[in-house]
Amino acid sequence: MSHPFRNAIVVVETLVGMGGLAGSIQLLVGAATPPVAVLSPLGLSSWTLPAGWLFLTVALPSGLAAWLAGRRSPWAPVAVLAASALLITELLLQIPFVGFSVLQLIFGGVAAAMAVIALMARRAGWWPRRRRSVEGPTDGIQDRGRHHAATPMRSTSASRRQAAPWGLLALLIALLIAYATIHRLGRTYGSTSHERRVRMPGDDIVPRPQFVITHAITIEAPASAVWPWLVQIGWHRGGWHTARWVDELLFPANHASADHIVAELQDLQVGDFIPDGPPEAECGFTVEQLASPRLLVLHSRSHLPPEWRRSGKASVDWTWVFNVVPVGDDGRARLIFRWRAATRPWWLTLIIWAVILPADFLMSRDMLRGIKRRAERLDRTT
């Protein structure tokens, strides 16, 4: 590629990467951020996770593209295309939450321009081509001694240039495999194929879901020791039994998950409302079914910003089912947790598939392990 094009890519991708880094820091420190209530569809109450997402999808890819372009790497066009695609995806994902702005249009145009330039890269001569020898046999013999001393250094440098793209490719493949693995675990952690296939109470509440997620864990305690922790879940109730660092990182407005039985929260009834956010978010679950100490079915259509629900901009129909199944006669229990969701429009469904499902590996796993730890401790002390 000609130098003006290469230099333009280096400068533009560097600026985009710096903008992504600055935006990530801005979200982390809470400077001039939108109201955190817009994150309620994602189940978040802080901007920490979006800050990390912005860094991984904008700052890091653009910085890598700028570095490869500066080195005239043959992988630079691929990196520029990937960075452009990720930037456009990030901008599209932002619009439902923070609205449309001229700045997003400008960044989208820059991403499209960089993608066009990258597509022109091969034809414009980005790749350094090997020069074929055109010298005759005699000339080669005469020059062999003169070039011999420089050969090891040139060979080492060429080997490094050739190895770098393969290393980058291996890294990208590893990242894709890791994402696919976490995505799978986010849908199936701890559950058996039978538990994922079997019909559970509450499945009929959302008849045509796009998502059916089943997790499970074996607890070395009877159902009677598990049940008290289930009925006190909720925002400013007993929490969601996640680790303290998770509560502080992602849900700083919520209280820390309770490590003791809260007596006044034990009388849960069908029709009760379990909040999942501050009162102004109007977000939470309604108890649809309850059969102590085995079954708790929760239902929500409120896990969206209130203005989205009122305007019909988006919708979610969501159930959580906790089923406590005795295992044998030795006082153990199997806690099966399933959530089903039907969402619209397409961009909300895409966000849940791309972001929420992988994140659910952390959140559901941590919740189930938190319930297990509390139930086993309660069983030992009673």
Mean pLDDT of the chain: 80
- Work out the burial of residue 90: count CB atoms within 10 Å of its CB; fewer than 13 is exposed, 13-18 middle, 19 or more buried: buried
What CA–CA distance (Å, rounded) separates 380 from 382? 6
- CA distances 251 to 36, 121, 212, 318, 374, Å, are 11, 45, 25, 20, 20
What CA–CA distance (Å, rounded) separates 167 from 142? 38
**How is residue 198 annotated by DSSP?**
S
| Half-sphere exposure (Cβ direction) of 333: Cα atoms closer than 13 Å | 24
- CA distances 214 to 182, 189, 246, 323, Å, are 14, 7, 21, 11
Q: What is the pLDDT of residues 142-194, one digit of tens each?
A: 444 544 444 555 555 555 555 555 555 666 677 777 788 888 888 888 889 89
What CA–CA distance (Å, rounded) separates 173 from 158? 24
Q: What is the pLDDT of residues 237-276, one digit of tens each?
A: 988 888 777 777 666 777 778 899 999 999 999 999 999 8
Asked whether the predicted pLDDT for residue 213 surpasses 60, the reply is yes
Domain boundaries, the chain: 1-128, 193-381
Asked whether the predicted pLDDT for residue 57 surpasses 70, the reply is yes
- Given this structure, which CATH class describes domain 193-381? alpha beta
Per-residue H/E/C for 49-60: HHHHHHHHHHHH
Please state the φ and ψ torsions of residue 160, each to the nearest 5 degrees.
-65, -40
**Both structure tokens of 320:** 């959580």
| pTM more than 0.85 | no
pLDDT of residue 268: 93
Confidence of residue 134 (pLDDT cuts 50, 70, 90): very low
pLDDT of residue 222: 94
What CA–CA distance (Å, rounded) separates 249 from 324? 29
Confidence of residue 377 (pLDDT cuts 50, 70, 90): very high
pLDDT of residue 340: 95
Identify which of 13, 25, 92 has the alpha carbon closest to the alpha carbon of residue 355: 92
pLDDT of residue 225: 94
| Half-sphere exposure (Cβ direction) of 313: Cα atoms closer than 13 Å | 16
What CA–CA distance (Å, rounded) separates 175 from 368? 27
